[in-house]
Structure 1
Amino acid sequence: MKSTINIIGSGFSSLAASCYLAQAGYEVTVFEKNKTIGGRARQLHKEGFTFDIGPTWYWMPDVFERFFSDFGKKPSDYYALEKLNPAYSVYFGKNDFITIEDTLEKIALAFEKEEKGSSKKLNKFIVKAKNNYDIAIKDLVYNPGVSPLELVTPATIKKINQFFSTIKKDVRKEFKNERLVKILEFPVLFLGAKPSDTPSFYSFMNYADFGLGTFHPKKGMYQVILAMENLAKELGVKIKTENPVDKIIVDKGKAIGILSNGKEYLSDITVSGADYHHTETLLEKPLRQYSETYWEKKTFAPSSLLFYVGFDKKLKNVNHHTLFFDVDFDVHAEAIYDNPKWPENPLFYASFPSITDKNSAPEEKEAGIFLIPLAPGLEDTDALRNTYFDKIITRFETLTSQNVRKDIIFKESFCINDFIKDYNSYKGNAYGMANTLMQTAFLRPKLKSKNVGNLFFTGQLTVPGPGVPPSLISGKLVADLVTKHHSVLA
């Protein structure tokens, strides 16, 4: 008889884990609290518009390829991928922006135009970043974070200094132009920490950005979730939506099942891809590995205030991905990490998927997604949301030299309270736990519970960290650990 596994949650890491575990011969059932699967990567459909509610950036295509190839498949078996050109643009003032195109050669030309001699420095910087990428993504991140020795390889020993310097120091040592500095510091924001707190080694994100490029799956990021669902079902995984898990059932120190909608579902092993802190509240207090104090002391990646806006016309002077860095990043970062509060003048990001993808909006209309990074745990009210929408739309109109307010058909918002309600997210964080030096690899919450047998975790609060590609990898890591652990017990 097959061993059974219950998986809590249906985000990227849970679905990845379900595929690997079903392939390994387990009978797998996924339990999702919401009506649709995908965790943070759901979609909003309204009046002919389609918005990705969560992730909108498709980076590191090789990680997706590696995932599907583990099952003899390719991403193209499930969805069509388009490389964006331009990848994105960055506004620094009114009609003042830098466009990042689709090849390193073109990006180097844009840098050179901005600062003489910078193209040469950029090429050197990206060679180093690529080297880090090859070490990290092809090797290090596929370790389960069990031991510090995982980080000790001949390649990493040569780079030991890069774990003790920071992205901010490295970038500013080479580049003096403040605008270029901001562009080079931007990718590490996906890791959830300030460039001044992110080890230099993470420059591999710059290679992901400039070396590999930015892609868009036709019909949106949710196509990746649907692809994983199809693959999971092909492998025999059962998925139950509208099944919130209220308790992890423990007997004689081992997880033996879950309680959902008043019904017990017994299993040999339980894996949770739900929020790690929340998952531990499904256990009796003495069985939890990490105290409230532990979580309080951790550096969490930001939450977000998001707006999904339907416009009654096509917009000008924007790209599919557009960043607005016309205000002081350090002041905004301080309001996220050092002195948590609503920022006076926030940086923001906007995505207009309908520029690339006609499926996103009705003809001659535009779908806009706006995101303001925020400290988790802040007060979240409708009045605050409306105030900040006014702030960014006013700036958006000025910076891009167009009037759009009168062309808004509707706007929907999503913020801290929604992250808590929909995803049981700790303090309403959006991206998990930041990848700072003291929260890297084996220093992150563990994939396997040390207090409860047969209980495992996956997702952005454990290894390797925040982001979609790391979540896919996390699913593989936990599946490997379960298989290894189970074969030892057998």
Structure 2
Amino acid sequence: MSETASAHTPGTPTDAGSAVVIGGGIAGLATAALLAREGWSVSLFEALDEVGGRAGVWEADGFRFDTGPSWYLMPEVFDHFFRLMGTRTADQLDLVRLDPAYRVYSEPPAGTAGDPIDIRSGRELSTQLFESIEPGAGAALAEYLDSAKDAYDLAVTRFLYDTYETTAGLRDPALLRRVPQLAPLLTTTLSRHVERRFSDKRLQQVLGYPAVFLGGSPYGVPSLYHLMSHLDLADGVLYPQGGLYEVIRAVERVARGAGVSIETGAEVTSIVTTPTTGGRAQATGITLADGRRVDADLVVSSADLHFTETQLLPEPLRTYPEKWWDKRTPSPGALLLLLGVEGQLPQLTHHTLLFTEDWRSNFDDIFGEHTRIPDPASIYVCKPSATDSTVAPAGSENLFVLVPIPADPSLGYGGVDRGGSPRIEAAADRVIAQISQWCNIPDLAERITVRRTIAPGDFEHDFHAWRGNALGLAHTLRQSALFRPRNASKKVDSLAYAGASALPGIGLPMCLISAELVVKRLRGDRSPGPIAEPAAV
């Protein structure tokens, strides 16, 4: 890929050439949109029948379920993307703030239901809650949130928007002066960082669970990621009316508006390359399952990085061959339950978390040497019908349940109406029973009218997800920032990468940033911050 910076004003299209984007998840759609805005003639190809990838949607009997992400965090990243596209978030999405942000149930004594804790966003409300549970924890949380905001601001300005083509950003004197404060955050686990400051198990779990959103365990991710608590405890949790798939629709809408051609049901089978010199090659297009070849000056793959490298490229041209993956850590797999429930469920808020007492064993079951589906499990339940009347029939509730499990496709597949693998459906039954007991909903199982399960086998089959993982490469220290896969091939010119396993990482906001990093690389922009926005719309 060219290292020459584009000599045009940001946001001003030029005749840049033709580009093809592989994959229609949020990273692919956003990359296509930004490239079109830069003046490229862009065609996007998605193997499935609808765009969205892991951030999909499924409808049945009047229920509409998001099948992937369900938290809207880092709103400024979405705001920045839409402004780059000449529009505003407010023009694309109808966002509401959740209060409470979420509810937490701890594992109760056998045979009983527990008393939940409601987490309300905002510094004052959060510190008051922590103080009411553990004397002194309010002041400790205030200090913790100061540090979290500082780490978050540092991440946004120094780490997340850096392509790491050079180490100039890391050698900035202003950053080097921070090394004494940064070093402990990089060498201490999140769990240890939290346990040193808070004694109550429930508070420890509230502060440690965001590691799961990073595809890891609080016992494995570095404590720098305590920055996540700035998002839910201080900044707030939002929800786009209609569901998180509305975000996908919005990004698709601006991509099409910028001139992107989007074709679904179009599986890419290889990246076409032309040999150059020194064992290198140039990406010159793609081939599709129907036999077509599409030529292009630039190829961007937002498909699963392992699949891209090991299936779409010949072995001599792989930057990340199979032996590289043998030493890497995937995010957890996921058991997902999409449940349509008759009647109301006041025991659950829009977001509800269930935490097991023996937390370390729970994570060992997922990431340890001898993995299994945890039982009991730490569970996340989303009830969007608490906020949005359009996602369920009147008088019913919509539940999306996520159980982190090992990234192992051999665990089986999900299905509709108990049509999945026996092991998966049995695990789903246990999860429903656990929610029923812990949250005091004794008749939950009898009230379910729609049921679908999704499992690691589905993630591998539908999304080519490496080892059936649900999110991408886990954010361990060895797989974060400059240690994460770069966004361009080292062996094939004009081949770029976007998505959850490349820079900067997991989640919808990160995938939007990954799209922007493709543009930064093409421009030769090696600054650590975001692209300058065009004049206000």
TM-score by length of 2: 0.88
Give the match's secondary structure for 2:50.
Answer: coil
**1:275 lines up with 2:275 in the alignment:** no
- Counterpart in the other structure of 2:410: 379
- Counterpart in the other structure of 1:488: none
**1:461 lines up with 2:501 in the alignment:** yes
Aligned-residue offset at 1:149: 4.5
CA distance in 2, matches of 1:57, 1:152: 34
- Counterpart in the other structure of 2:488: 448
CA contact (8 A) 2:356 2:377 kept: no
Q: In the TM superposition, what are the counterparts of 1:335-414 in structure 2 within 5 Å?
A: 335-339=365-369, 340-381=371-412, 382-402=421-441, 403-414=443-454
**1:214 lines up with 2:237 in the alignment:** yes
Aligned-residue offset at 1:148: 4.4
CA distance in 2, matches of 1:85, 1:306: 25
CA distance in 2, matches of 1:82, 1:184: 24
CA contact (8 A) 1:86 1:100 kept: yes
State the percentage of identical aligned residues: 33
Deviation string, structure 1 residues 389-412 (Cα, Å, up to 9, x no partner)? 111111111112122111110201
Structure 2 letter corresponding to 1:265:
V
Aligned-residue offset at 1:342: 2.3
Give the match's secondary structure for 2:300.
Answer: strand
CA distance in 1, matches of 2:358, 2:84: 44
- Gaps spanning 5+ residues in structure 2: where? 1-14, 276-280, 413-420, 526-537
1:112 to 128, 131, 134: 131
Deviation string, structure 1 residues 80-137 (Cα, Å, up to 9, x no partner)? 0001001101101223221101322112121111101111110111011101111112
From the superposition, tell whether residues 209 and 21 of structure 1 become closer, same or farther in structure 2 (CA, over 3 Å): same
Give the match's secondary structure for 1:29.
Answer: strand
- Counterpart in the other structure of 2:11: none
After superposing the two structures, state which structure 1 stretch, 377-386 or 10-19, moved more: 377-386
- Counterpart in the other structure of 2:470: 430
Deviation string, structure 1 residues 366-397 (Cα, Å, up to 9, x no partner)? 01111110111242231111111111111111
Structure 2 letter corresponding to 1:160:
L
CA distance in 2, matches of 1:412, 1:100: 29
Number of equivalenced pairs = 485
- Counterpart in the other structure of 2:214: 191
**1:259 lines up with 2:298 in the alignment:** no
| Deviant stretches of 4+, over 3 Å | 147-153
Structure 2 letter corresponding to 1:71:
M
Across the aligned residues of Structure 1 and Structure 2, the Cα RMSD in angstroms comes to: 1.4
Deviation string, structure 1 residues 45-99 (Cα, Å, up to 9, x no partner)? 1110000001001111111111112223211111100010011011012232211
CA distance in 1, matches of 2:312, 2:209: 37
- Counterpart in the other structure of 2:205: 182
**1:123 lines up with 2:142 in the alignment:** yes
**1:44 lines up with 2:58 in the alignment:** yes
CA distance in 2, matches of 1:152, 1:399: 50
Structure 2 letter corresponding to 1:117:
G
Give the match's secondary structure for 2:360.
Answer: helix
Structure 1 letter corresponding to 2:125:
K
After superposing the two structures, state which structure 1 stretch, 88-97 or 33-42, moved more: 88-97
CA contact (8 A) 1:83 1:102 kept: no
From the superposition, tell whether residues 41 and 247 of structure 1 become closer, same or farther in structure 2 (CA, over 3 Å): same
CA distance in 2, matches of 1:247, 1:310: 40
From the superposition, tell whether residues 378 and 346 of structure 1 become closer, same or farther in structure 2 (CA, over 3 Å): farther
CA distance in 2, matches of 1:479, 1:37: 21
Relative to its length, the structure with more helix (as a share) is: 1
After superposing the two structures, state which structure 1 stretch, 376-385 or 203-212, moved more: 376-385
CA contact (8 A) 2:376 2:434 kept: no
- Counterpart in the other structure of 2:165: 146
Q: In the TM superposition, what are the counterparts of 1:34-183 in structure 2 within 5 Å?
A: 34-92=48-106, 93=108, 94-153=113-172, 154-155=174-175, 156-161=178-183, 162-183=185-206
After superposing the two structures, state which structure 1 stretch, 408-417 or 131-140, moved more: 131-140
CA contact (8 A) 2:64 2:391 kept: yes
Give the match's secondary structure for 2:196.
Answer: helix
